[in-house]
Structure 1
Amino acid sequence: MKTGSVNKVIIALAVVVASLLAVKLLLVDLQPSEESSQGQLLKNTRQYSQIPDFEAIADVAEKKKAFFDFLRPAVQHHNNIIAEERKFLLASLQHLVDGEVLSEAEQFRIQQLASKYQYSMRSVTVNNLNQLLRRVDIIPEDLVLIQAANETGWGSSRFAKEGLNFFGQWCFRKGCGLVPQSRSEGMSHEVAVFNSVDDSVGSYMRNLNSNAAYSLLRSIRADLRAQGEPIRADKLVYGLLNYSERQEAYIEELLDMLRHNNQFLVENYEQGSAV
């Protein structure tokens, strides 16, 4: 091959290599850096997309309906789980009353439920099952929805938007959640962050059914069961005295919200149906 031809080939190859390098550099500039990607994650863009922009709904009635309709499926889902757990425990209790021996699988599941609801049970007895059943019971749907509305300002709070936390639940490990802007000096709690609205509702229900602070709520509910009366929100609400530092004022506020939003709490409510 002549020298001129060789030079032309070398020049052509050099042009190709230079072009490839230029394209690669351009792609690197367009690709978001690891630091910027982390910044996007910290904004919880995935979580923001999971809840509607309730603040953008100008009509008050429409906003309330949208808020309740959004949360209702998760509330029903967890109440259904609790109802099935309760049904199982009642069947096991009946087995013991009838003098039957519980299977290993049955005893294992009972112990699992005792752990879930933070009830210490060394052995499965009639008394222990009755005590566990005080914890494994539903929370009235309207009580859950009203408390969520109260705690989040109808879904407008920072904690609902960024942390999918609809009930103001705290966590106590540094970095576990969102730091409240109004946190008092010397306090170390954070507001918990959840992966989903469903997780937030489930955690809230377990809290009411297991935390010692809400033993009064469980006692009221057990008394209603014993009297054959329905589990009503306006009865159980008094068991939330320790949910807020405002105590009695908080209870009165929830009762007032229950009264004034009764029509919106009904599933399949239509705006034109209100009297």
Structure 2
Amino acid sequence: MKIGRIGSFTLALAIVICAVFSLRVWLIPADNKPDTTVALITKNRPNPGLMPDFSAINDVAAKKQAFFDFLRPTVRQQNAIIADERRFLESSLANLENAHPLTEAEEFRIRKIAAKYQYSSKFYDAKTLTRLLKRVDIIPEAMVLIQAANETGWGSSRFAREGLNFFGQWCFSSGCGLVPLSRNDNMNHEVKVFNTVEASVASYMRNLNSNAAYSLFRSIRADLRSQNIEPEAEQLIYGLVNYSERQEAYVDELLDMLRHNEQFLVDTHAQTPAA
């Protein structure tokens, strides 16, 4: 079929227009911006697969054992970090007491550890290192596990499930955590959200080792250390009187839980040495 000049021109123009339109569509970037509503909802929410569903375990004894077994490795990991820091400080203190000045590297690490535990000093000598050592010390495993069980209802609380918060730690900036359903209108705190179990346990330990509210806890521990007595949960729980507004009743409850759950505090996965 023949096409006249006008027809040919029209056809060519149509082809050009289609080509330009296709090129324009190809060059325009797709709108890949995330939905801000979804982003706000998912902000600071940990992966739900990080923690077992303890509420689904109907057998009470099995639930208790599972909860302790879940947290125990992280508690030991964080205590190992603190123990390493403490050994370093003790070594530095021994050097000072033997008239060996701190090296630049030693002083750098000391200042880093001091900042972690919210302790500041213009200079570090034997006296200041002794004070710092009062903060840099491990926390008995049994005490950590019992308090976590108390604060979370054996891992079934909303704050544990949605925020990996096992110790009821608060934060005070909007969006930093989960808003308690029972929060009064005149209060602005939230229950802090953690991205990992390690971060949650580390924050709790750092809180006990640095917050002024727990100076009694640290004093009891340091006093036991001075007598060459290894601090244990039953002794140090008395130092948690300011952890809850219930104070003495809270301490009594923790002590009662400690005594009634001794069998579950035993590490059932510990390997016994071969005979």
| TM-based fold match above 0.5 | yes
CA deviation profile, 1:222-264 (whole Å, cap 9, x unmatched)? 0110111121000000000000000000000000000010010
Q: Is the 1:163–1:178 Cα contact (8 Å) retained in structure 2?
A: yes
Partner of 2:227: 227
Cα 1:2/1:43, change in 2 over 3 Å: farther
Q: Is the 2:92–2:102 Cα contact (8 Å) retained in structure 1?
A: yes
**SS at 2:191 equivalent:** strand
Give 1:268 shift.
1.3
**SS at 1:244 equivalent:** coil
Cα 1:227/1:171, change in 2 over 3 Å: same
- 5+ long unaligned stretches in structure 2: 4-14, 16-29, 271-275
Partner of 1:251: 251
CA distance in 1, matches of 2:2, 2:109: 86
The one-letter amino acid of 1:231's match is: P
CA distance in 2, matches of 1:206, 1:239: 15
CA deviation profile, 1:64-87 (whole Å, cap 9, x unmatched)? 111001111110001000000000
Partner of 1:16: none
Task: Answer yes or no: is 1:267 the counterpart of 2:274.
Answer: no
Q: Is the 2:44–2:193 Cα contact (8 Å) retained in structure 1?
A: no
Partner of 1:34: 35
Give 1:100 shift.
0.5
Cα 1:34/1:2, change in 2 over 3 Å: farther
CA distance in 2, matches of 1:43, 1:194: 7
CA distance in 2, matches of 1:191, 1:80: 27
CA deviation profile, 1:68-126 (whole Å, cap 9, x unmatched)? 01111110001000000000000000000000011001011111111110111111111
CA distance in 2, matches of 1:198, 1:37: 26
Q: Is the 1:147–1:167 Cα contact (8 Å) retained in structure 2?
A: yes
Cα 1:265/1:174, change in 2 over 3 Å: same
The one-letter amino acid of 1:150's match is: N
The one-letter amino acid of 2:87's match is: K
Cα 1:212/1:35, change in 2 over 3 Å: closer
1:107-126 superposed matches below 5 A: 107-126=107-126
Task: Answer yes or no: is 1:240 the counterpart of 2:262.
Answer: no
Partner of 1:152: 152
**SS at 1:242 equivalent:** coil
Partner of 1:131: 131
The one-letter amino acid of 2:228's match is: G
Task: Answer yes or no: is 1:211 the counterpart of 2:211.
Answer: yes
Q: Is the 1:47–1:164 Cα contact (8 Å) retained in structure 2?
A: no
The one-letter amino acid of 2:170's match is: W
What is the total number of aligned residue pairs between the two structures?
A: 252
**SS at 1:191 equivalent:** strand
The one-letter amino acid of 1:232's match is: E
Ranges of 4+ aligned residues in structure 1 off by more than 6 Å: none
**SS at 2:187 equivalent:** coil
CA distance in 1, matches of 2:37, 2:212: 44
Give 1:40 shift.
6.9
Partner of 1:51: 51
**SS at 2:242 equivalent:** helix
Q: Is the 2:163–2:177 Cα contact (8 Å) retained in structure 1?
A: yes
**SS at 1:49 equivalent:** helix
TM-score by length of 1: 0.84
TM-score by length of 2: 0.84
Give 1:35 shift.
5.9
- 5+ long unaligned stretches in structure 1: 4-12, 14-27, 271-275
The one-letter amino acid of 2:42's match is: L
CA distance in 2, matches of 1:154, 1:222: 30
Q: Is the 2:119–2:132 Cα contact (8 Å) retained in structure 1?
A: yes
Cα 1:42/1:173, change in 2 over 3 Å: closer
Greater Cα offset, 179-188 or 67-76: 179-188
Partner of 2:25: none
